[in-house]
Structure 1
């Protein structure tokens, strides 16, 4: 049986991934409605990736005879601004998620070394996720209000496949 504090920590991470899934899906729908279909596809795939993270954590917790506590997910906005503003919000959210995993790792390494391994894997992945989104933000800044550059970047982001998040 998993310790109560470890179970609570994993449930907190499950909730964060659940929120991430719905946030990115809402962003995808918004950008799709703004005709940025490539960016929308990128965010939809990111939403699916976050759902996979959530399911991995659920499977881990249930595999240790823990209890999964799924909470309500807050309603997401319907307008995220420009593509740059949207991806700046993605970057802020990824940094928030990284901070949660960092805190979880710092705590868990002292009380449950086995769980440290899974948290460390997520922390490692966060390095890549932040870097990819930072590249997208930087490229959107370079594009500015140039519609040709925005459409080119939109097309490039639309080439993302499951499991890969090319950003340049």
Structure 2
């Protein structure tokens, strides 16, 4: 049996993951408008990942006999001043999501909810990768973003990213 606090936090996390997808689609739209199709692709794939994460949390609640409570998803309200700004905001957002998952993990640990802890272990690892990828994008942009030819090559590299559904068994 999962404590009501955990169920509430997971329902909130579902909303945060769906919001993440909206936010990354907004970033993809920004880059599409800028003509950076590789950056657009990278963020579209990121949006797909976030949708998949939301669905994993949803399925976890369903598999354990709890109701999913979907809430309204807020509008992304970011305005980007330059091509680097979405990359920086993406890192900040991933850090926010990491903190949110850590909160659920801490609560599950305090309640000795080992089933939820085991489920969250995958997300803890995933968030490490998400933050590393966001930092890597910023680092590459800092190295190459001011040179048009290098930016073109970086954009081409990002165009190659493809969505791979998570392999978490719940």
- Give the TM-score taking structure 2 as reference length: 0.91
Question: Is the 1:42–1:160 Cα contact (8 Å) retained in structure 2?
Answer: yes
Q: Are the equivalent residues in 2 in contact too, given 1:2–1:65 (CA < 8 A)? A: no
Structure 1 CA distance, aligned partners of 2:105 and 2:2? 16
Deviation at 1:78, TM superposition (A): 6.5
Q: Please tell me whether the aligned partners of residues 7 and 61 of structure 1 are also in contact (alpha carbons under 8 angstroms).
A: yes
Q: Distance in 2 between matches of 1:87 and 1:135?
A: 10
Q: 1:112-157: CA deviations, max 9, x gaps?
A: 1101111111011111111111011011111242121111111101
Aligned to 2:121: 120
Aligned equivalents of 1:68, 1:30: Cα separation in 2: 32
- In structure 1, what is the Cα distance between the partners aligned to 2:103 and 2:78? 30
Counterpart in the other structure of 1:148: 149
Counterpart residue number, 2:64 = 64
Aligned to 1:82: 82
Deviations 1:1-24 (A, max 9, x none): 532111101111111101101100
1:24 touches 1:43 (CA, 8 Å); kept in 2?
yes
Moved over 3 A (4+): none
2: distance between equivalents of 1:161 and 1:144?
22
Give the whole-Å Cα distance in 1 for the aligned partners of 2:29 and 2:78: 8
Distance 1:23 1:146, change over 3 A: same
**May I ask how many residue pairs the two structures share in their alignment?**
164
Is the Cα–Cα contact under 8 Å of residues 24 and 44 in structure 2 kept in the other structure?
yes
CA deviation string 1:31-55 (max 9, x = no partner): 1111010000010000000000000
Counterpart CA distance in 2 for 1:56 and 1:48 is 12
Superposition TM-score, scaled by structure 1 size: 0.92
Q: Shift in Å at residue 104 of structure 1?
A: 1.3
Q: Which runs of 5+ in 1 are unaligned?
A: none
Alpha-carbon distance in structure 1 between the residues aligned to 2:105 and 2:10: 11
Unaligned runs of 5+ in 2: 166-170
